[in-house]
Chain A
């Protein structure tokens, strides 16, 4: 495929250095990490090395890292597991959360909890006043994502965590999009639990982690052989975990160069966009340096994405997980964006391999496509 890939917030290509570390475990691996013979023990050692690398990359202790199969599982584990062992109270999240936080929160309503979502302002920032007010009601958990997958807007998590703690609630953050893109430190964020995932940082799919304050009494999602200190049963996916560890090591060392590189590309992109009557969502806020989410008046996003695809540009019209549906982005609706404008949204998310030349080509193609689509629409009208 010769496509130019601008969809790094959906998933990323596996780094060849990560693959090199995984290959022994993919091709020659034998050994269940729970077994006591040498095969099992070397698998166990590999997992513990990876645990250290993951901890290092997100400012946590190795003993706080619980491996899961994906970010969705880690978020479900956090939301259901933390609230299951507390008195049934309110669960707070935000209106821009990924469904794998809000849906388990809704599922907990069947067991007596109440799920509420805090609003965001027009720039995509959480309404802290509303959070403060809601926290007057007894709350078991506050889950707010650190960086939004669509807009890239970064939340003031330290304040969220502080408000939650003061109110006696636990705080969880979905930091899947933040890992490797900003300096991430679990201890400094002051939250009780944090989700990170491998395949967003050039690691393999099949591994993620919940970083967890060990003092929390959490209910496992999966029961069985008692792996991961009894908190996540199931034979460990060694190859993916080793890859996750290697990807974390690379991401931690490359964060600054990633920011510098992608920021330059985005500035180039947004300078070009400025001449095309576009709205950039969350553009006024602290955002991930690699993300630009914009809409072009009068053009449907899905149509534009398909048109760009024919020209070999892989971009997204929303988050991959919801691109099954043609519903406008729930994130943009929460920001008060008109549904028609929201449908026209296109997300570009850069990676380190993208170049300035690619951005220039993209801008030229975009201009052509906009012109063509507008003519089509005009003819239809």
Chain B
């Protein structure tokens, strides 16, 4: 079914890059954001044109239609993740969901303890929310993952203190795509009376999520990583046993007091539709994407000195993160303009720091700098992958011809023993 849907295109012109795809780079950055599925857009548009009411307006049908659409969407979101619709709170996106879950739960339960456990490879929205709580007097443990990106459960257990109140671990990592064992971590939290939050922004439509059985108390979602619109997300807040959070945005008392503010009906509708499609198509889609990812992997791993970052087995098929040794990261990005990819997470691309996620895996600065995240999705084709393999191989060769490090490596010099001139 998805094969009949064409990749939506950005209309802007693009400087010619001297190759076949000069007008439009191939989009392989689905983990940064996905295009809106045309079926989602079609469903949204009536809600910005005809049914434009404020869902909180109870006095006229404009408001009622909007409210009904919002509730239908809430049901769709709940269905994808095995939740009760009453457990879904709308937010403006995963950043807000993460902030609301972490600050909201920590503040509400601060009487029980002031220690939080999270992981060094979490999204910035989680790390920075925890850092903010540290400024407010909480203490935090940032666990280092194993070199494959997965959490060692014995280390997690060892980090638990009598005053540990909250743990936050992401389902699927945005940079390396590894899937944490949420069930096992959740069970440990349950045994120790710790509230467990999971950032699932990168998980929806990629892995099965069933909150009926998952021992998770709070879970963050967003639409724009699952072919829905930007600016809309949700937070799952468990009802049985009931989890309480302190609101972070106060006002009209929308979302049962947990999140005030006028909600964008068309965006909520879009998220509902995106999650409905994900529920119906994810298993077929994942098979196709797995095939494409394996093809890409085989096309690249046959080169010398390439390293896959993160475990390949416990990983979503959408993600392939590879370091190309002896090639500098930024020049690499310039070289591969024919494809749109990320070096590190999109949210930190603006800075020149190497990816903190790869650093946490124990990768050297150089390997972290020379990493590329290929993330593939619904509209990626076989041809896209073929082109990418060809492009990567030729550009890596070119840059290595330019690289004094590659020359030294080829000459058999151990670079770790070289005394570098400081500057």
Contact = CB atoms under 8 A, between A and B. Distances in A.
Interface residues of A, number: 77
Contact of A13 (B44, B52, B222, B231): B52
Interface stretch (A262-270, A313-321, A363-371): A313-321
Contacts of B309: none
A206 interface: yes
Interface of B is mostly: loop
Contacts of B63: 10, 320
Contacts of B41: 26-27
A223 B99 contact: yes
Nearest to A16: B49
Contacts of A305: 59-60
Contacts of A238: 230
A315 B25 contact: no
Contacts of B254: 321
Given A28-B35, A39-B25, A316-B59, A205 B262 contact: yes
Interface in A23-64: 23-24, 26-32, 34-40, 42
A71 B29 contact: no
B89 interface: no
A103 B58 CA distance: 22
A40 B347 contact: no
Given A204-B266, A223-B129, A75 B251 contact: yes
B69 to A, nearest CB: 12
A24 B45 CA distance: 12
Interface string A202-242: 00111100000000000001111111000001111111100
B29 to A, nearest CB: 6
B57 A11 contact: yes
B43 to A, nearest CB: 11
Interface in B256-271: 260-267
Interface string B18-59: 000000010101001111101001001100111111101111
A211 B167 CA distance: 36
Contact of B251 (A22, A28, A99, A302): A99
B265 A323 contact: no
Interface stretch (B141-149, B338-346, B362-370, B385-393): B338-346
Contacts of A207: 231
B250 to A, nearest CB: 3
A199 B60 contact: no
B252 A7 contact: no
B348 interface: yes
Given A39-B25, A71-B262, A222 B99 contact: yes
A19 B262 contact: no
Contact of A237 (B38, B92, B123): B92
Nearest to B259: A72
Contact of A205 (B50, B60, B267): B267
A207 B56 CA distance: 17
A35 B264 contact: no
A171 B33 CA distance: 37
B124 interface: yes
A98 interface: yes
A103 B251 contact: yes
Nearest to A75: B251
Given A11-B53, A71-B261, A204-B266, A36 B231 contact: no
A12 B50 CA distance: 11
A240 B231 contact: yes
Contacts of A283: none
Given A99-B253, A233-B128, A28 B58 contact: no
Contact of A302 (B59, B61, B129, B350): B59
A127 to B, nearest CB: 24
Contacts of B252: 72, 98-100, 321-322
20 contacts: A10-B54, A28-B36, A29-B8, A31-B10, A32-B346, A34-B350, A37-B29, A38-B14, A40-B32, A42-B10, A70-B262, A72-B262, A99-B252, A206-B264, A206-B266, A224-B98, A237-B92, A237-B230, A315-B60, A320-B56
Given A1-B65, A11-B262, 7 more contacts: A71-B262, A98-B252, A206-B231, A223-B125, A225-B347, A227-B347, A317-B59
The 5 closest A-B pairs by CB, nearest first: A237-B231, A100-B251, A321-B252, A224-B125, A225-B347
Interface of A: 1, 3, 5, 7, 10-14, 16, 19, 22-24, 26-32, 34-40, 42, 68-73, 75-76, 98-100, 103-104, 106-107, 199, 204-207, 221-227, 233-240, 302, 305-306, 309, 314-317, 320-324
